[in-house]
Amino acid sequence: MIDIKFLRENPDIVKENIRKKFQDSKLPLVDEVIALDAEVRKAQQEADDIRASRNKISKEIGALMGQGKKEEAEAKKAEVAANAARLAELEEKESELREKIKKDMMTIPNIIDPSVPIGKDDSENVEVQKYGEPVVPDFEIPYHTEIMERFHGIDMDAAGRVAGNGFYYLMGDIARLHSAVLAYARDFMIGRGFTYCVPPFMIRSAVVDGVMSFAEMDAMMYKIEGEDLYLIGTSEHSMIGKFIDTIIPEEELPHTLTSYSPCFRKEKGAHGIEERGVYRIHQFEKQEMIVVCKPEDSPIWFDKLWQNTVDLFRSMDIPVRTIECCSGDLADLKVKSYDVEAWSPRQQKYFEVGSCSNLGDAQARRLRIRINGKDSKYFAHTLNNTVVAPPRMLIAFLENNLQADGSVRIPEVLRPYMGGMTEIR
């Protein structure tokens, strides 16, 4: 959510930003907000005038009563009563207008960074850099669930009977590998100076509204029936929500946290053949990282965050690349975003395994996360990035570490978490 003062003073910039995101249907919202804002300020001024008049008249009533001028005092009281009725009308009107403005402002996209490439959708995202040499072995790489089944490591049929499509049982060494990756990612981020946290796995609607757009919420979140609670789609939501309604002393920043959580997603819509298996599911586990910092520091932290993910994957000998999301592929709250994609030897292409985002002050403005600076209070900047999400991570791991004899090599960094095993057979 952008600053309404900025919108009021720079409507053309806001409209041009909407055009760059190819959301022309939202252009009328800018003029609508400006008109509603003018109505609010007019109603507020009239209300303030009535309050000032009421205080003045109250003093006059006291003076008239003291002088024994009862009739004149009663007339003044009637005037106060009339003003009170009008004030109630204005306050109700002001509340309704502010609610309309809030709804519009939460729909208008955030101002994107000038460096973001302009494009309509993810087909126009831009490759930034590759890390590691993609290899295609001279033997066939089976589909990832087939690899897992060879080790009796997955049971999707039983999960389907228990919970429906989009769920799985991980078993044996594959389940152990899943947990090992998460434990290694946790320690990797602690080693990078981040504070480890296990957050709430449910959040209230006020936090949901603060951390994501309406479209994202509808496509992702599971609502707990009869309660003001949602299952988190990523721990970023509850991690950023940790700072709701807080004023952070400037000298305490940045806050750098890494968190473990299960994640729950509706995953609405049809998906392609490469999204079978555990590629896109309703429940998975993830290690996340978030930063709350001063505005001038967020570009530096953005580069640090995506580099952490690249370094983690490379430490496990998995080739990756970074992709910059174009304007049309950016969620409305994002200022700038990189995807980290891992190499798939089977598909002979890269696929997304993480996403790094700078949201500017959009989430902080919605959640009222402010910094207490030397001269004034101002909104923080928030950033988030996937450390690792094992379902997709497992796909990349198994394909890149599969050997010709069907065994899976365990990279050196993971061996302490796998009881010293060097391979899975």
DSSP letters, 225-290, are TTSS-EE-SSHHHHHHHTTTTEEEEGGGPPEEEEEEEEEE----S---GGGTTTTS-SEEEEEEEE
Quick one: pLDDT at residue 338?
Answer: 98
Least confident among 67-76, 146-155, 157-166, 252-261: 67-76
- Counting beta carbons within 10 angstroms of the beta carbon of residue 308, is it exposed (0 to 12), middle (13 to 18) or buried (19 or more)? buried
Helix and strand element counts for the chain (H, E): 13, 18
* In contact, 174 and 238? CB cutoff 8 Å: no
Query: How many Å separate Cα 157 from the centre of its chain?
Result: 32
Interval 404-418 mean pLDDT:
97
In whole angstroms, what is the distance from residue 153 CA to residue 147 CA? 9
Residue (of 33, 15, 32) closest to 24 by Cα position: 15
Average model confidence (pLDDT) for the chain?
92
Could you tell me whether strands 255-264 and 126-131 are parallel, antiparallel, or unpaired per DSSP bridges? unpaired
SS3 83: helix
User: Which CATH superfamily does the domain covering 122-424 fall into?
Assistant: Bira Bifunctional Protein; Domain 2 (3.30.930.10)
pTM for the model stands at 0.88
Total residue length of the chain: 425
Percent of the chain residues topping a pLDDT of 70: 95
Quick one: pLDDT at residue 273?
Answer: 42
Percent of the chain residues topping a pLDDT of 90: 79
Sorted by sequence, the CB contacts under 8 Å of residue 179 that are 6+ apart come out as: 417
Sorted by sequence, the CB contacts under 8 Å of residue 215 that are 6+ apart come out as: 332
pLDDT tens profile 74-89? 677 777 777 788 888 8
**Residue 313 half-sphere exposure, CB side, CA atoms within 13 Å?**
34
In whole angstroms, what is the distance from residue 97 CA to residue 95 CA? 5
Residue (of 338, 352, 218, 349) closest to 279 by Cα position: 352
Element (H, E) at 195: strand 195-197
pLDDT tens profile 114-132? 999 999 999 999 999 999 9
Element (H, E) at 353: strand 349-358
- 4-105 has CATH 3.40.50.410 classification: no
Is the bond preceding 28 in cis, omega lying within 30 degrees of 0?
no
Quick one: pLDDT at residue 148?
Answer: 95
pLDDT grade for 270, boundaries at 50, 70 and 90:
very low
- Counting beta carbons within 10 angstroms of the beta carbon of residue 369, is it exposed (0 to 12), middle (13 to 18) or buried (19 or more)? buried
Which amino acid type is present at position 57? I
- Kindly tell me if the per-residue pLDDT of 326 is higher than 50: yes
Element (H, E) at 339: strand 336-344
In whole angstroms, what is the distance from residue 70 CA to residue 150 CA? 97
Is the bond preceding 114 in cis, omega lying within 30 degrees of 0?
no
Parse the chain into domains and list their residue ranges.
4-105, 122-424
Residue (of 355, 353, 362) closest to 382 by Cα position: 362
pLDDT grade for 1, boundaries at 50, 70 and 90:
confident
Query: How many Å separate Cα 380 from the centre of its chain?
Result: 15
In whole angstroms, what is the distance from residue 23 CA to residue 2 CA? 16
- Kindly tell me if the per-residue pLDDT of 271 is higher than 60: no
Count the neighbouring beta carbons within 10 Å of the beta carbon of residue 208.
Answer: 22
Interval 21-49 mean pLDDT:
93
Interval 353-365 mean pLDDT:
96
- Kindly tell me if the per-residue pLDDT of 327 is higher than 90: yes
Structure token digits, residue 221:
């979140």
pLDDT grade for 268, boundaries at 50, 70 and 90:
low
In whole angstroms, what is the distance from residue 391 CA to residue 155 CA? 14
Quick one: pLDDT at residue 64?
Answer: 66
* In contact, 380 and 361? CB cutoff 8 Å: yes
- Counting beta carbons within 10 angstroms of the beta carbon of residue 285, is it exposed (0 to 12), middle (13 to 18) or buried (19 or more)? middle
In whole angstroms, what is the distance from residue 56 CA to residue 63 CA? 11
In whole angstroms, what is the distance from residue 311 CA to residue 303 CA? 12
- Kindly tell me if the per-residue pLDDT of 59 is higher than 90: no
Interval 351-356 mean pLDDT:
94
- Kindly tell me if the per-residue pLDDT of 58 is higher than 80: no
Quick one: pLDDT at residue 82?
Answer: 73
Least confident among 68-77, 217-226, 333-342, 377-386: 68-77
Structure token digits, residue 231:
């299952």
